[in-house]
Structures are given as structure tokens and as C-alpha cells.
Structure 1
Amino acid sequence: MESTNNINIKKALNEKEGFQIWWRLLRPHTLTASFIPVFVGTMLAFTDGSMHILLFLAMLIASILIQSATNMFNEYYDFARGLDTEHSVGIGGTIVRDGIKPKTVLYLAFAFFGIAILLGVYICIASSWWIAVIGLICMLFGYLYTGGPFPIAYTPFGELFSGFFMGTVIIGISYFIQTGTLTSEVIWVSIPIAIFIGTIMLSNNIRDLDGDKENGRKTIAILIGRKNAVLFLASLFTAAFVLTALFIISDILPIWSLITFFGILKSIEVIKKFKGRTLPIEMMPAMAATGKNNTIYGLLLGISLLFSTFF
């Protein structure tokens, strides 16, 4: 029988039963890190006159599956190591609160990887088999993020790895499979997206700082403290927008990309939601807003690239 405390936690987090259990397992607020890079990379290719819808959809679905599987590995291994309990916030809670067997979560993660590999075969046939090598490396690091003997998420490098692989690498692949080439401009444009994806992980670590510290993690947030971590988060937002401005000035991005600066409002909102908060449940709105921040910037950037081809 479900404990009263568990029921109270579910109510506080507004967790519902049925399909919502499996939806939470995907950690939807983090999936912006998978679909935004594919969208931006494809729009960059479109501005260069190349666009294959089926390749775009295959890449989009594969990226979402890999991100979802990574979240499931996170759910499984954090439970296995005793980091997640029924009191933990920001997790799917599928194991510790909903009673789903841990092995079910693990097998589902591998199944998602399997489907992503099948989609990858199609992408490789249509583009290059080098994509298979890069894709397998991405999946390996997705697993090693919380799996394996030395989880990346437990180190100060979680933000760097997640930003690089989910931002720069995915944008590069999305562009390459459409055009058959890769340019330095694409790599430059990927950097702000990589930064925003890194901030999703940083905000997660700011929220979980106390619990992570007790369990021996060494994240950036733990090493520099919550107050400095929030300041670092603000500096990353600033850097992303400064780079965007420089790219517009240097003609790497079109003048239409000025619309991305509407995202500054959401960045300010994130910092405000973090300030003065110390309990994980109090910082959940800030964490969700960080994901939306990446979505807003990425969508506006992609739209600006689309506009630049017509106007």
C-alpha cells in the first residue's frame, strides 16, 4: 500500500497516474535538448538549399529517443546507487514513487537505443556511414552520463559533455546529413545552443545541490556553491546572447536572428526564480523555465534562418 508521505509528495509535484507515469519517465522538460539542435541544424541546411523531410524526421525521432533513453539510464542508476528516494524531486519517480520495476526502466532505455540505431541505419544509407560511428559515440556517452563506474554526471564536466554532444554534435550531424558537408559557420552557430543545453544541466545541479553533495557528487554547483552557481548560470546566458550578437554583426547569422533576443526575458525569469530559493521543490519552476529558455531561443533562431531564405 502506498505510504501517506509518498502520496503527499505526488500531490506536491502534481504527479498523476496512468500514461503520465511513463511520460514523466521521459523527463519532458529536458527533451528540448534533443529536438532544438535537430531543428536548428536542419534550418541551417535549408538556408543552404538542402532539405529532406524524411531525413529530418528520422534524425528528430532518433535524437529524442537517445535523450529519453539517457534520462531512463539516469533514473535507473541513480536509484541503484541510492541517490533517488521517494522524496526526490526533478526525477520521473517511476521507480521510487510509482513502483515500476527498475529492470523495466533499464530494458526500455535499451529498447529506445535499439530503435534509434534502426533509424540511424536509414540515415547512414542516405548520407554517410561515418554518422554511425558518431551516433554510437553519442549513445555511449548518453549511457556513461550516469552509467558505468565513473558517471559523467557526478563530475564537474556534465554540463560540458551534454552541451557538446547534444548541441554542437547533433547540430553538425543534422546539417551534414542534409548537405553532405560541414562548415565552420555551422560549428560557430551551434555554440549558443550548446551553452543553453549546458544550462539545463547546471540548473538541475543547482536544484539538487544538497542531495548530490551528501552522495559524493562533485558537480560545478557543489564546487562553487549555490549562489556562485546561479551567477555562473547568468553569465552563461549572457555569453550565449553576446555570441549571437557577434555572429549577426559578422554575418554568420542573418539580421533576422535579432528575434532571438526576446529570449532574454526568459533568461532573466530563470535567475529570478532561483534567487532566494534553497529547497529543491521551490526551484522546480526555475528548472522548468531553463528548459523553456532553450526552446524559445532555439525556435526563434531556427525561424530566423527560415525567414532569411524568403526575405
Structure 2
Amino acid sequence: MDSQAQSMTSPISKQKNWKVWWRLTRPHTLTAAFVPVTLGTVLAMNDGTSINLPLFLAMMVASILIQIATNLFNEYYDFKRGLDNEESVGIGGGIVRDGIQPKTIMKLALSLYGISLIIGIYICISSSWWLALIGLGCMLAGYLYTGGPVPIAYTPFGELASGFLMGMVIVLISFFIQTGTVSTESVLTASPIMILVGAINLANNIRDLEGDKENGRKTLAILLGKKNAVAFLASMFVISYVWVFMLIGFQIISPWILLVVLSIPKAVSAIKGFIHNTAPIHMMPAMKATSQTNTFFGLLLAIGIFLGNMI
């Protein structure tokens, strides 16, 4: 009888476990990994380079794994510092809600870093060993974002760190491994993505503002206050779109990149969501819309560059 009951509940248990582990990856943040890699690769195509598909896939997988590992470090250290509980919004919740051992989360994060390191060695062999220093720096920053004595996430520099590393550096590495160089065009085109990746971080901190304040954090959102933080987020969106018009005006990139204007409704939805809501749970759609803005903007930018190169 017990055996029969166990077999009947097993599929449900497995489905729940799958959902728990998927939630721990914080899927809405993964846009900060795959959009920069895609954009950097398309920029390399626009530069006349024949794309090395294995290198592209290696870079994509490594970036996503590092992002997931960073999220797991966040889960582990926020729990260890007593910041997460069953009512916390926006977390994976594997420890406080599903009973996963903290050491299991840490082991998984380190394992993902290990896999990324192996992939990184392949990328270095195929391009340049100088990338080893940059890659290790990115991995260290991912750990120090919530780990270490003074986590970056607890300071006003979280947006700058995440935007620069994930939005700028990842684009340029993706471009470099295909072309063997970094161009002015690639830096300028990566700039709005850098801003939008930082915006994802700011949106997260706006949502968590009150809880972070109670726990002694000094995020940018806390220093600005909610009203000014939302205004700053709106300015980040505006600058990103204006930047695209400047790229076209200075004839740096094809006018096809105007496709990015199709993502504007998501940006507007994000700002409205933060303005009209105060509870963290009610600001979740605005947080999601911010991530979607980065996704749609980045992919439409890449498509526009590709079409401009083909037509």
C-alpha cells in the first residue's frame, strides 16, 4: 500500500522539483545573459565576419550558466544573512519555501561556475588567453554581487556593475571572439544594452526598496527614494531609445535598428506599474516588463543590424 502511494505521488513530486529548480534560475533575469551574446555576434556579422557557431554557442551557454550561478549565490547569501523568508517576493525560494539545503544551492552554483570555466578554456584556446582574465573577473563579480564582506548588491553600485559586466563586457567579448578585435561601433552599439541591463537591476531594487531599507542595504533606489528612482528608471529607457536615433543620425548603424521602437510599450508599462503600485507583489509585473524591455529591445536591435547588413 505504501509502495502504491509512493508511485502515485512520485510524478507530482518530480514535477514540483522541476518547477522549483527552474524557479531558482530566476528566468526573468536570463535576458541579461543571452541578449548581449546575441547582439555581439550579430555585430560581428555586420563587420563582415563569418560566424564561428561553436564559439557562439559556447559563449551563450557560459553566460547563461554564470547568470544562473550568480542568482544561486544571491539565494544562498540572502538566506544566510536572514533577508529571505517565505513571504519574500522575487526570490527563487528554494531554501525558505521548498526546504532545499543551503549547501546544495552553493554546490550547484560552484558546479555551474566550474562548467563555465571549462567552456571558458575552450573559448580562450579558440580566441585569446587575455579573455581568461576578463572572464575570471566577471565570475568574481558575480560571486561578490551578494557574497563577500561588502556585497555589491547592498551598495549603490549594483546597477553600474551589472550593466557594465553583462551589458557591455559580454557584448564585446562575444564580438571579439568572432572578429579578434573590438571596434568603436561595437562599444557604441552595446551602450544602450548596458543601460537596460542596469535598468533590470534598478527595477528589482525599486520593488524591494522597503525590505532592503529595513535590512540595512544602501541601494541606489533607497538613496533616491521610490519616486526619484522610478524617474531615473524612465530616464534610462529614454536615453536607450535616443541613443539608437543617434547611432542612425551619425550613420554608425543602419536605420533598420528603428525596429527597437516596437519595444517602447513594455517600457511604458514598466514605469506605469511602478508609479501606480506600492506593494512588492503588485510591482512584479513592472519588474517583468523591465526585463522584457531589455529582451525585445536587444533582439530587435540585433534583427535591425542583421537586416541592414543583408538588404
Aligned pairs, number: 296
Distance in 2 between residues matched to 1:120 and 1:239, nearest whole Å: 33
Which amino acid in 2 is paired with 1:221?
A: A
Counterpart residue number, 2:32: 33
* % same residue: 59
SS of 1:34's equivalent in the other structure is: helix
Q: Does 1:47 align with 2:74?
A: no
**Superposition RMSD in Å:** 0.8
Corresponding residue for residue 12 of structure 2? none
SS at match of 1:275: helix
Cα deviation, residue 252, structure 1: 1.4
State the partner residue of 1:291.
291
Distance 2:19 2:157 in 1: 31
User: Which amino acid in structure 2 is aligned with residue 231 of structure 1?
Assistant: A
Aligned counterpart, 1:79:
79
After TM superposition, give the deviation of residue 274 of structure 1 in Å: 1.1
Aligned partner of 2:183 in structure 1 is: 183
Tell me what 1:99 maps to: 99
Question: 1:261, CA displacement in angstroms?
Answer: 1.1
250-259 vs 56-65, greater mean Cα deviation? 250-259
Q: Does 1:64 align with 2:46?
A: no
Q: Which residue of 2 aligns with 1:276?
A: 276
- Equivalent residue, structure 1, for 2:6: none
Query: Which whole-Å CA distance do the structure 1 matches of 2:182 and 2:191 have between them?
Result: 15
Letter in 1 for 2:119: L
Cα shift at 1:185:
1.3
Name the counterpart of 2:195: 195
Counterpart residue number, 1:221? 221
- Per-residue Cα deviation, 1:184-223 (whole angstroms, up to 9, x for no partner): 1111111100000001000000000010000000011111
The one-letter amino acid paired with 1:277 is N
CA positional deviation for 1:275: 1.4
Match of 2:244 in 1: 244
Distance 2:24 2:308 in 1: 38
For structure 2, the 5+ residue unaligned runs are: 1-14
* Distance (whole Å) between structure 2 residues aligned to residue 96 and residue 279 of structure 1: 20
Equivalents in 2 of 1:41, 1:127: separation in Å?
15
Cα distance between partner residues in 2 of 1:82 and 1:254: 50
The whole-number CA distance in structure 2 between the counterparts of 1:18 and 1:218 is 35
How far apart in 2 are the matches of 1:128 and 1:224? 41
CA apart distance, 1:37:
0.2
Task: Name the aligned partner's letter for residue 46 of structure 1.
Answer: M
Runs of 5+ consecutive residues of structure 1 not aligned to the other structure: 1-15
Distance 1:180 1:210 in 2: 46
CA distance in 2 between partners of 1:42 and 1:30 (Å): 20
SS at match of 2:253: coil
* TM-score in terms of structure 2 length: 0.94
Letter of the structure 1 residue corresponding to residue 36 of structure 2: P
Summarize deviations over 1:82-109 as a string: whole Å, max 9, x none: 1111110100001110110000000100
Higher gyration radius (CA) = 2
- Rounded to whole Å, the distance in 2 between the matches of 1:72 and 1:215 is 20
C-alpha deviations, 1:248-282, integer Å up to 9, x for none?
A: 11111211001111111111011111112111100
Indicate the residue corresponding to 1:21 in structure 2. Answer: 20
| Partner in structure 2 of residue 12 of structure 1 | none
1:86 aligned partner, one-letter code: E
- Equivalent residue number for residue 204 of structure 2: 204
1:54-108 Cα shifts (integer Å, max 9, x gaps): 0000000000000000000000000000111111010000111011000000010
Q: Secondary structure at the match of 1:68?
A: helix
The match for 1:137 is 137
Query: Secondary structure of 2:59's match?
Result: helix
Structure 1 residue 305, shift from structure 2 partner = 1.1
* Structure 2 counterpart SS, 1:18: helix
CA distance in 1, matches of 2:253, 2:79: 44
C-alpha distance in 2 between matches for 1:72 and 1:193: 24
TM-score, normalising length from structure 1? Answer: 0.94
